[in-house]
Chain A
Amino acid sequence: AQRVTQPEKLLSVFKGAPVELKCNYSYSGSPELFWYVQYSRQRLQLLLRHISRESIKGFTADLNKGETSFHLKKPFAQEEDSAMYYCALKAGGGAQKLVFGQGTRLTINP
């Protein structure tokens, strides 16, 4: 079965400090992974996906198949990064589910 685990429910860092939000997955096939973000009173929206290998708002995430991880990183946190972050896995095959983790609430302190 497909599973996404985000071990930290809450993460608090100071402005300017590095941020790492952890995501681990279990899936026997070739995974496709995403990070979604939900800012206060806004809809859930895509932040980035591993196939794009892009940096969005200073965030990057690298797929590590050996460790089955897809951690989200930013070298210098900003106050506007405070939000709820969800890691998601697309499970392939005929029925293509999009499965989410439990979420991490990131708070950036001034």
Chain B
Amino acid sequence: DVKVTQSSRYLVKRTGEKVFLECVQDMDHENMFWYRQDPGLGLRLIYFSYDVKMKEKGDIPEGYSVSREKKERFSLILESASTNQTSMYLCASSFSPNTEAFFGQGTRLTVV
């Protein structure tokens, strides 16, 4: 069974803090993705990576950065958290873009 694990289910951070969201997959997948999920807006792609140290901007990268130093780990970084970044964050991985994407359980981030 493929496992995609996000380090936290719930996080509460203060405005201006630097926030790290971690995601680990155990199936040697090439592709990893970070999305945010908001009611009425669906899943919006923040960043994705198709190889170690390779990253591409998604549709809403502003205010975020990512790191992929090892194949199994993809980190999302909020450089200076703001209240409009309060959301559910989903990580996903896939072997190739044509194959199924497996999702983590999500991290609900609240910025106060």
Contacts and interface: CB of A to CB of B under 8 A. Distances in A.
Given A43-B104, A86-B42, A86-B43, A98 B97 contact: yes
A100 interface: yes
Interface in A64-110: 86, 90, 92, 95-103
A103 B42 contact: yes
A45 B45 contact: no
Interface in B27-63: 31, 33, 35, 40-45, 48, 50, 56, 58-59
B98 interface: yes
Label chain B's interface by main secondary structure.
Answer: strand
A100 B58 contact: no
16 contacts: A32-B98, A44-B92, A45-B102, A86-B43, A90-B98, A92-B97, A96-B31, A97-B56, A97-B58, A98-B45, A98-B92, A98-B94, A98-B97, A100-B42, A101-B42, A103-B43
Q: Which 8 A-B pairs have the closest CB atoms?
A: A96-B97, A102-B42, A100-B43, A44-B103, A46-B100, A103-B42, A95-B56, A43-B103
Interface of A: 6, 9, 32, 36, 43-46, 49, 51, 86, 90, 92, 95-103
